[in-house]
C-alpha cells in the first residue's frame, strides 16, 4: 500500500496531510462552472456521452423481475426508434436481481453491458463484515462485474477510520479482478466537504476503483460542490500515485442540464481523460428519459413529450 499500511494511526496521519476544503471557494467554483452554455453539436456530443455513462438504476423494494428486464431492454436500446443512441454504461440493481439482469442482457444483445450490484447491506451498511463479504460474494457469483459498496458512515463519523478502511480492503479482496469496486461515501451524511475529501482519499487508498457520492436514498445527494471535491481528490490522487480512479455521482441528477453540468465539472476539474465511461458514471434512472427527449428535439427540431419515451 503506497500511502498507508492500513493501521488506524497511519491512516490518520495520512489524512492529516490533506489540506482542508475551502467551502465558499468550492461552492463558487461549482456554481461558476454550472453557467457554461453547451449548445448544438457540443450538446449532442454531451448527450450521447452522458447516455453512455449512465448506470441505469432501479433500487426499490418493489422491484420485480419484469421491471428489471424492462430496464435491461432499455439499457441496450435506450430509444427503440433510433439505433444511433449508444447503450448505457451499466445496469445497477439489488443483489437478488443480478442474475435476472445478466441473463436478460446476454439474451438481448447487451453482452458488453456490465451489471452493477449494490452490496454490503446497502443502503445503510449496518451489518457485520461477514454478512457484507457474503453479500458481495453472492453478487459476483451471480454475474455482477461491478460492486457498489457503502462505507460504514457511523464508524467514519466517530473517527473509527481503521474499521472503514479494513472493510473496503476486505471487499476489494473479494472483488479481485472479477469485479470493479465502487465505494459509496454517502456524502449527504458526511456533513462537511472536509469529510468528503478525507473519505475519498481513504476509499482510494483502500483500493476503490470508483468513488461514488450517494446511495440515492439520502438527500442531499450528488450536489455540484461535492462532486467537485471528489473530482479534485481523484485528480490529486492521480498526481500522487499515477493511478486513475473513477467518480460516480448518483442521486438527484434528473435533467439533461444537470448531466451536462456534471460533464463540465469533470472536464474542468479532473480533465478530459475522465470523460470516459470507465472513469465517470452517472447513477440515474429518470435522467435517461430527459436525455432522450432532448436528443429527439435536437434531431427533429420539435419538442418531445414523455409519451414518446418508455415509462420507468
Partner 1 sequence: MRLDVRKTYKLFIGGAFPRSESGRSYELLDAKGNFLANPALASRKDLRDAVVAARNASEKWATASAFNRSQILYRVAEVMEGRREQFAAEIMAQEGLTKAQSLKQVDEAIDLWVWYAGWCDKISTIYGSTNPVSGSFYNFTTPEPLGVVAVFISENKSLTDVVHGIAPVLAGGNVVIAIAAEDYPLSAITLAEVIATSDVPAGTVNILTGKSAELAPWVASHMDIDGVDGSGLDAANYEALKREGADNLKRIQRFKSVENPQRVLSFMEHKTVWHPIGI
Q: Which residues are catalytic?
A: 148, 212, 248
Closest approach, Cβ 300 to partner 1, in A, equals 8
* Cα–Cα distance measured from residue 163 to residue 186, given in angstroms and rounded to the nearest whole number: 17
Candidate segments 89-97, 122-130, 157-165, 297-305, binder of partner 1 by CB under 8 A = 297-305
What is the 3-class SS of the chain, one letter each residue? CCCCCCCHHHHHHHHHCCCCCCHHHHHHHHHHHCCCCCCHHHHHHHHHHHHHHEEEECCCCCCCHHHHHHHHHHHHCCCCCCCCCCCCCEEEEEHHHHHHHHHHHHHCCCCCCCEEEEECCCCCCCCCHHHHHHHHHHHHHCCCCEEEEECCHHHHHCCCHHHHHHHHHHHHHHHCCCCEEEEECCHHHCCCHHHHHHHHHHHHHHCCCEEECCCCCCCCCCCHHHHHHHHHHHHHHHHHHCCCCEEECECCCCCHHHHHHHHHHHHHHCCHHHCCCCCECEEECHHHHHHHHHHHHHHHCCCCCHHHCCCC
Total number of residues that touch partner 1 (CB under 8 A): 8
Which of residues 176 and 305 has its CB atom nearest to partner 1 in the complex? 305
45 is an interface residue for partner 1 by CB under 8 A = no
308 is an interface residue for partner 1 by CB under 8 A = yes
Among 10, 134, 304, 310, binds partner 1 (CB under 8 A): 304
Which of residues 242 and 303 has its CB atom nearest to partner 1 in the complex? 303
Candidate segments 9-17, 210-218, 230-238, 302-310, binder of partner 1 by CB under 8 A = 302-310
Among 66, 176, 272, 305, binds partner 1 (CB under 8 A): 305
Among 133, 307, 311, 312, binds partner 1 (CB under 8 A): 307
311 is an interface residue for partner 1 by CB under 8 A = no
Among 41, 61, 301, 311, binds partner 1 (CB under 8 A): 301
272 is an interface residue for partner 1 by CB under 8 A = no
37 is an interface residue for partner 1 by CB under 8 A = no
40 is an interface residue for partner 1 by CB under 8 A = no
111 is an interface residue for partner 1 by CB under 8 A = no
Which of residues 163 and 254 has its CB atom nearest to partner 1 in the complex? 254
What residue ranges bind partner 1 (CB under 8 A)?
301-308
Amino acid at each position: 500500500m503506497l500511502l498507508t499500511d492500513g493501521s488506524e494511526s497511519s491512516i490518520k496521519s495520512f489524512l492529516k496531510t490533506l489540506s482542508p476544503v475551502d467551502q465558499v471557494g468550492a461552492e463558487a467554483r461549482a456554481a461558476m462552472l454550472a453557467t457554461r452554455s453547451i449548445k448544438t453539436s457540443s450538446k449532442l456530443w454531451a448527450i450521447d456521452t452522458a447516455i453512455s455513462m449512465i448506470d441505469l438504476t432501479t433500487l426499490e423494494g418493489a422491484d420485480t423481475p419484469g421491471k428489471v428486464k424492462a430496464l435491461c431492454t432499455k439499457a441496450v436500446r435506450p430509444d427503440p426508434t433510433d439505433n444511433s443512441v449508444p447503450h448505457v454504461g451499466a445496469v445497477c440493481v439489488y443483489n437478488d436481481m443480478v442474475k435476472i439482469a445478466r441473463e436478460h442482457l446476454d439474451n438481448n444483445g447487451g453482452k458488453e453491458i456490465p451489471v452493477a450490484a449494490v452490496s454490503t447491506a446497502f443502503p445503510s451498511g449496518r451489518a457485520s463484515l461477514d454478512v457484507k463479504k457474503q453479500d458481495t460474494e453472492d453478487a459476483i457469483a451471480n454475474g455482477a462485474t461491478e460492486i457498489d459498496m457503502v462505507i460504514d458512515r457511523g464508524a467514519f463519523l466517530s473517527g473509527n477510520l481503521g474499521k472503514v478502511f479494513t472493510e473496503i480492503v476486505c471487499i476489494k479482496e473479494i472483488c479481485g479482478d472479477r469485479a470493479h469496486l465502487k465505494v459509496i461515501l454517502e456524502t449527504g451524511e458526511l456533513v462537511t466537504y472536509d469529510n468528503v475529501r478525507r473519505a475519498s482519499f481513504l476509499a482510494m487508498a483502500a483500493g476503490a476503483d470508483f468513488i461514488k457520492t450517494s446511495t440515492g436514498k439520502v438527500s442531499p445527494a450528488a450536489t455540484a460542490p461535492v462532486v467537485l471535491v471528489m473530482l479534485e481528490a481523484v485528480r490529486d490522487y492521480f498526481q500522487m500515485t499515477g493511478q486513475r480512479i473513477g467518480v460516480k455521482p448518483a442521486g438527484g441528477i434528473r435533467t439533461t442540464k444537470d448531466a451536462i453540468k456534471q460533464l463540465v465539472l469533470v472536464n474542468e476539474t479532473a480533465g478530459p481523460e475522465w470523460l470516459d465511461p470507465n472513469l465517470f458514471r452517472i447513477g440515474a434512472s429518470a435522467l435517461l428519459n430527459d436525455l432522450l427527449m432532448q436528443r429527439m428535439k435536437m434531431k427533429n427540431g420539435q419538442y418531445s413529450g414523455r409519451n414518446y419515451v418508455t415509462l420507468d
